Amino acid sequence: MRIGELAERAGTTTRALRYYEQLGLLPARRAGNGYRAYDEGDLRLLREIRMLQDFGFGLKETRPFVECLRAGHPDGDSCPASLEVYRRKLAELDECIGRLQEVREQVAGQFARAVRARDDLAVAEQPPQCELTEE
């Protein structure tokens, strides 16, 4: 298939495919007429790259998965190098989650303080009530 068809089937652009070629993630094969030629295996590589990008992986992080597929493995994450990328990404995510939890606790504390201050101000602004007056 030609580059336009591959881009359409993969849900990306021809520009992105050329960029992936420059990075060595996608093979740059040419047909006899000089056009780029791709097959179903290339579509599978692209789907793997796109899925990983959707998960937040950078293009450099996708390389072990692509190489694993190119080596003939049934899944891009069945090679040791891919598993190591998963480990690093999980550690990175755990660190981000920890930082977010700390920030959330700080924001929750500030929110509680602001609500208390507002409530204290509202009580202070109420006119005094005489106990002998009926309302």
Amino acid at 118: R
Residue extents of the structural domains in the chain: 3-124
CATH number of 3-124: 1.10.1660.10
For residue range 23-80, what is the model confidence (pLDDT) as tens digits? 999 998 888 888 889 999 999 999 999 999 999 999 999 999 999 999 999 999 999 9
Give the pLDDT score at 133.
60
Q: H or E segment at 25?
A: none
Average pLDDT, integer, range 113-130:
79
For 79-120, the pLDDT digits (tens) are: 999 999 999 999 999 999 999 999 999 999 999 999 998 888
**HEC profile for 68-93?**
HHHCCCCCCCCCHHHHHHHHHHHHHH
